Structure 1
Amino acid sequence: MKKSIYWRFLCDVAARLPSSFQLSLTENSTLSFFWDPWCGGISIGDRLKSEHLEHLVQPHELAVHSVLVNNTWNFPISLPPSIKAEILAVPISTGMGNCLWTGTDKPVFNSFHKGLKHVWHKRYALRFSLTTWMAFRNGLKTANNLLSRGLAVNNSCIFCHHSEENHKHLFFECDFTSQVLLKVFPYFNRMLLRPNLGQAFHSIEDWDIDRSRKNFCYLLLCAIVYYLWRARNDRLFGNLIDCQNTIIAKIKHAVNLKIVKWK
């Protein structure tokens, strides 16, 4: 399957980030021993996965300060000698632990959002676009993400109760969420297959409408993502179950409040 432009951009940024910042260690460091990229820009967890040793990632929440005592590493598990050698080569700082940007360019927001121009469009609403941006990055706390971090959660979709909850399913493989999308954007009914999030944005870009109307559609699509994620959390944590029509009503009301000030 061909990768979307959004996914290619995010993969490119993710690949370049480790070489652009440096995490310094102290005895009081609260960095995650397994999951933060403090060892040569790569996490210990990823190094273990590359050697098919995922079972050694225990406990998941272990912090560096629990392993580093009096400038001496007290490894909690039988790490391979090669990984131990790399850890021992990491310098221990006597100052405050921090994250330093070492890239040649000054980090600016535009560097990270230019590949997601449809999400951060001219008329974007921060809460809508931020949630959508997180959805593109697989950064929302979906069941599969929580399970990968060792948390015991129910992995079934809170809307359909049939499939595993992950970003791809929520936006918009799920029957419930896809119907919300199709009711707000009837045009997508013409597509042979259900669009995913990236395909929905790409389709709008190809529509024969002016830029102002495209910005409205981008805003509306971001609002759909935001209110679906909010409805998901309401069901899980607030004992509040909104039907599709209620969610759509909230989306339309919120978007109308945003565009009333547009010139």
Structure 2
Amino acid sequence: MGVVKESVVDRWKWSLDPVKGYSIGDAYQMFTATDQNPNRANMYTICHKQLPLKVSLFVWCLFHNCLPTKDNLLRRGIVHPDATNCVGGFALPETADHLFITCSHFSQLWVLVRSWLGFSSVDTFRAFDHVVQFGQLGGFPRSSHHFLKLIWFSCVWTIWKERNN
């Protein structure tokens, strides 16, 4: 179990330029530098003009495991080890994958959405795999893949907002 550190400063560090820090130009350069860049494909996955920027950034944080879920807060020494259970009420540690995909409480949203769309599937256990599977469902035309991803993004955003309520 981790130790709670009372007076520790938690800081972000921009690894592309640790001296000057973050810049939009550096971020743009990183994502557009080459077609071989794996982060570029992820950006195309999460950036939609129909999606608010805050939701795109939220999904980016989800895929990079930097949301303030209880396991990440514990790792940073912000919460006590006894306070890491999921808010869904089943005494399991709150990780991003658990919260958004496997939590018995919040996973009911996926059941309802699949019922609404008229299909069934077996959920994966990782958020990134889940959005890929959900966004490329068999039987739906390729033209609907972006729409399905928008539904997925809306669902995880809704789960996050409800979790924080």
C-alpha contact 1:143 1:155 (8 A) present in aligned 2: yes
Note closer, same or farther for the CA distance 1:110–1:230 as it changes in structure 2 (3 Å cut): farther
Give, in angstroms, the shift of residue 109 of structure 1: 4.5
Note closer, same or farther for the CA distance 1:110–1:159 as it changes in structure 2 (3 Å cut): farther
Identity fraction in percent:
24
How many aligned residue pairs are there? 143
2:21 aligned residue: 99
In the aligned structure 2, how far is the partner of 1:172 from the partner of 1:105?
Answer: 29
Give, in angstroms, the shift of residue 106 of structure 1: 7.0
C-alpha contact 2:136 2:142 (8 A) present in aligned 1: no
In the aligned structure 2, how far is the partner of 1:223 from the partner of 1:208?
Answer: 22
Match 1:197 to one of 124, 127, 139: 127
Q: Which amino acid aligns with 1:227?
A: T
1:156 aligned residue: 85
Give, in angstroms, the shift of residue 151 of structure 1: 1.5
1:61 partnered with 2:17: no
Unmatched segments (≥5 aa) in structure 2: 11-18, 34-38
Listed one character per residue, the Cα deviations across residues 77-134 of structure 1 (whole Å, up to 9, x for unaligned) are: xxxxxxxxxxxxxxxxxxxx63389xx9972544644234322246433233222221
2:16 aligned residue: none
Of the structure 1 ranges 202-211 and 218-227, higher mean CA displacement relative to structure 2 is found in 202-211
Note closer, same or farther for the CA distance 1:142–1:180 as it changes in structure 2 (3 Å cut): same
1:143 partnered with 2:70: yes
Give, in angstroms, the shift of residue 175 of structure 1: 0.7
Structure 1 or 2, whichever has the larger Rg, is: 1
1:184 aligned residue: 113
Of the structure 1 ranges 217-226 and 128-137, higher mean CA displacement relative to structure 2 is found in 128-137
Match 1:228 to one of 122, 143, 159: 159
SS of the residue corresponding to residue 177 of structure 1 reads coil
Give, in angstroms, the shift of residue 209 of structure 1: 2.9
Q: CA RMSD in A?
A: 3.3
SS of the residue corresponding to residue 160 of structure 2 reads helix
In the aligned structure 1, how far is the partner of 2:98 from the partner of 2:9?
Answer: 30
1:127 partnered with 2:49: no
Listed one character per residue, the Cα deviations across residues 42-70 of structure 1 (whole Å, up to 9, x for unaligned) are: xxxxxxxxxxxx98xx777159xxxxxxx
Unmatched segments (≥5 aa) in structure 1: 1-53, 64-96, 235-263
TM superposition score normalised by structure 2: 0.68
TM superposition score normalised by structure 1: 0.46
